[in-house]
Amino acid sequence: MNNVLITGGAGFIGSNFVRYFLSIEPGIQIVNLDALTYAGNLENLKDLPDPGRYAFEEGDICDSSLVHRLIQQYQIDTVVHFAAESHVDRSILGPSQFIQTNIIGTFTLLEAVKQYWVDEKAFSLEHVRFHHISTDEVYGSLEPNAPPFSEITPYAPNSPYAASKASSDHIVRAYGHTYGLPISITNCSNNYGPYQFPEKLIPLVVLNALTGQPLPIYGDGKQIRDWLYVEDHCEAIWRVIRDGIPGETYNIGGDTQPSNIEIVELICSILDERLPDSPHFPHKSLIRHVADRPGHDRRYAIDNTKISRELGWQPRESLHSALRKTVDWYLANTEWVNAISNQKNHQSWLQGNYQERGG
């Protein structure tokens, strides 16, 4: 592993992984390809460790000529594929971009590395890897007492987002099986941590609470998710790329499954501790229940047995410790928060998605 292409490296998980990878792998060169859509931000990549080993390329993973050029120009031997449209609510309002980016974009990347690695034999296939980051949402929804998702759980996606990711998983696996491409896939649970765009639950709640805005809770708030701290996720991906068996899938979860309302109440209690003089104290008073979104899955949970047994990975952070780190990061990075929160398209989306539901 010498020259690594990271797609979507200006987004939330991708930018955290760029930082982690530069710090853990001193010999590699990173190329970050990102289209800088609403959720991708170069502010996420300031003050990188050892920036001399990092290059940024702005562009779309669906641009075949660009992707082929970058693969060959930088002699890429490893692809870590984060780039995706990833928000369920946005996929309900406008699914076409999810089909384009998540399916066609993944196909475009696979075609480029197949040509360079397999057809042109640029490297021995023992020394290359295409790693695809996916989601637990491809498995659908769990009943209250059902066992957690494992790598052999049948796919049953329930949203346009989940369906597009399920499709991309199948395409990646097919390229491994048909063309011998060394691939790996990870299906992760809900991530949280620094640099997360505030359309997702945790940063949305933190930032709304700071300004006294309502904290919107879908339906009864009893939907259950498996929450994974982003730095734990980055370590898991690194272990799969380094030591995971080609062709295999590994599930990555945080080993904690609170309900959404419990998450929001915990954030409120942390903010009460940090900001006892806030005019919005107690922050729990800002909670508002809004109409549930269509087809909302009730429960996700991940079984980490395989990645733990084969690669020795376990999450290092508990929900309480990592959530405090996350809240503290947003409190300390007001410049980043203000730049993101003032984006016109972000404000209009919040208006359409939450306030028009009655929040």
Catalytic residue among 34, 60, 77, 136: 136
Catalytic residue among 89, 137, 231, 303: 137
Distance of alpha carbon 16 from alpha carbon 9, whole angstroms: 8
The burial of 168, by beta-carbon neighbours within 10 Å (0-12 exposed, 13-18 middle, 19 or more buried), is given as: buried
Helix (H) or strand (E) holding 188: strand 183-188
Catalytic residue among 20, 54, 74, 161: 161
Distance of alpha carbon 157 from alpha carbon 26, whole angstroms: 39
The answer to whether 310 is a known catalytic residue is no
- Among 65, 337, 322, 26, smallest CA distance to 192 is for 322
Alpha-carbon distances of 327 from 122, 132, 204, 205, rounded to whole Å = 46, 29, 11, 10
Distance of alpha carbon 34 from alpha carbon 216, whole angstroms: 30
* Region of residue 338 (phi > 0: left; psi between -120 and 50: alpha; otherwise: beta): alpha
Scanning the structure block, which residue is given the tokens 């809900």?
Answer: 190
Evaluate whether 31 touches 5 at the Cβ level (below 8 Å).
yes
- Among 180, 306, 149, smallest CA distance to 247 is for 180
The answer to whether 161 is a known catalytic residue is yes
The answer to whether 50 is a known catalytic residue is no
Query: In sequence order, what E strands does 272-357 have?
Result: 287-290
β pairing state of 3-7 and 129-135: unpaired
Helix (H, G, I), strand (E, B) or coil at 302: strand
Positions marked active-site: 136-137, 161
